[in-house]
Structure formats: structure tokens, C-alpha cells
Amino acid sequence: MKSRLAAIALNTFREAVRDRVLYNLIIFALLLVASAPLFSQISIGIERLVLVNLGLSSISLFGVIIAIFIGIGLVSKEIEKKTLYTILSRPVRRWEFVFGKYVGLMVTLVVNAALMTLGFYVALLLTERKLTGDDGRLLVAVYFIILELLIVTAITLLFSSFSTPIFSAIFAFAIFVIGTFGEDLRNFAAMGHGLTKWATTGAAYLLPNFSSLNVISQVVHGQPISSSLILFNTVYALLYSGAATAAAVFIFEHRDLK
């Protein structure tokens, strides 16, 4: 089972790396990160702020774009090319296929984020001439971005298990946008009454909470991130992405592929 999962994951990674869209996005992201020092030349006293904000936001945004645009094709492409039938005719179970695809894309995204982080730190070194302890703390924000990608990928996979690629992209992106307002949704729920309160509270808990995973503004100002937040965010991301992947498996198991 392990080797089957690894084989699917590795293939997904290889395929994603070969994908031109992925290369274009990496180059674009690296260019943007590299242009950060230029941006900081035209502002006063906020060189580091601009660089860190731009760098981390790029890693997050491009990660999400890659997760969605590759994620939507994970299942549909295999059906379209009829390669899915070849895979499933072998002793590969459907849940292994879905989970393997998920792991493969996650590996792609982690490698991608690592490359962008490397470029980001190079830009930081060029601007500041040296790296300090505060710069090391920025890795917490990168870690949270990876947790964010863990959830986004699982949601995209869930939608792609029953919908068309274009609608899956729209749904996943909409969920991502709503999730970034997760805490505001909770605030709205707290202000509501009766049925509205119940409905908004339900929605607030059912939808993913990306706002707690965004600590860019804290790390950029050198504020510490508590270890409990790191722990609970990790647990939350694992649980939520696990739930979404399990739902994707459930739907895919029901799907008539004939």
C-alpha cells in the first residue's frame, strides 16, 4: 500500500514539475520577490517591511494559485486522458489514488514554497547585508502558509472530485477568500440574533479559518508567535485537510467512472 501511494504521489509531483504553468508561476514569484528591493528604494524607512510583506504575501498567494490550478486537474485530467482506468485496473484502490494525488501535490507545493523562501531570504540578505534572529522568526509565517496550502489543496481536491475544473477553481477560490475573513465571520455571528446567529456560527465553524494562519503582520513587526498557536494551528490544519480529503475519497468512491 505504501509503495502504491508513494508511486502515485511521486508521479503527481513529476507531472506538476513538468507543467509549464508551475514553472511560469515560480519564475513570476521569484521575479516579484527579487523586485522587492527595488520597491523599497522608492519608500522611506520601510524597506524591510515592504520586502517581508511582499515576499511572504507572494509565497502565500502563488502557493494558493498553484494549489488551486493544479488541484482542479488532479482527477479530471486523469479521466480526460483515460489514464485513470489504467491506474484503477491495477491493484490500486480509489482512496489510494485520491490520497496519493493529494500527497503528490503537497510535496510539489512544499518544494515550491521552499524555493520561494530561499529566493526571499536571498533578497533579504541583499537588502539588509546580514540576517538576524527576527528574520529567522519569519519561517513561522512560511510554515503557516504551508498549513494554509494543506487546507486549500484538500478543498480543491474535494471540489474536483465531483465538479468540473472551472467550477472547482471558482469554488475553491471563493472558500479561500471567505476563509481569510474567518474571524470577521465569527464576529458577525457573535453580533447576530436567532436564526442568523445560528446560521453564521455554523458557517464560521464549517468553513476553514485562514485568518489565524496569517501571521505575516505579526512577524513583520517582530511580535512573537506563541507555541500554543503553532501547535493548535498545526492540529487544525491536519484535521480540516483530513476531513476534506476523506470527503473527497467518499465522493470519489461513489463516482461512476464507466
Partner 1 sequence: MNHKRTARAVSALMALVLLATSVLTRHKIEAARGQQATLEEVLYIPSGKVLKRMSLGYSTLLADIYWTRAVQYFGNRLQQRAIRYDLLAPLLEITTDLDPHLIVAYQTGSIFLAQRGAGAGQPDKAVALLEKGIRENPNYWRLYFTLGFVHFLDRKDYKAAQAAFESGSKVPGALAWMKVMAARMAERRHDISTAILLWKGIYDSQPEGVARTNALQHLQSLQADASMEELERRIEAYRERTGTLPHEWTDLIREGFLRAMPLDPFGEPFKLMSDGTTQVHDPSLYTYLGEFRSEKKPDH
Residue ranges binding partner 1 (CB under 8 A)? 93-95, 181, 183-184, 186-188, 190-191, 205-206, 209, 211-212, 217-218, 220-221, 226, 228-229, 232-233, 235-236, 239-240, 242-244, 246-247, 249-250, 253-254
Alpha helices in 42-164 (DSSP H): 47-71, 73-80, 83-89, 94-128, 133-160
| Shortest distance (Å) from residue 202 CB to partner 1 | 10
| Shortest distance (Å) from residue 136 CB to partner 1 | 21
Q: How far apart, in whole angstroms, are the C-alpha atoms of residue 62 and residue 73?
A: 17
Q: How far apart, in whole angstroms, are the C-alpha atoms of residue 162 and residue 84?
A: 15
| Shortest distance (Å) from residue 82 CB to partner 1 | 21
| Shortest distance (Å) from residue 56 CB to partner 1 | 13
Q: How far apart, in whole angstroms, are the C-alpha atoms of residue 56 and residue 58?
A: 5
Q: How far apart, in whole angstroms, are the C-alpha atoms of residue 75 and residue 163?
A: 10
Residue closer to partner 1 by CB (options 16, 152) is 152
Residue closer to partner 1 by CB (options 59, 244) is 244
> 136: helix, coil or strand?
helix
Residue closer to partner 1 by CB (options 114, 177) is 177
Residue closer to partner 1 by CB (options 52, 105) is 52
Is the Cβ–Cβ distance between 12 and 74 less than 8 Å? yes
Residue closer to partner 1 by CB (options 94, 137) is 94
Cell of 49: 517591511
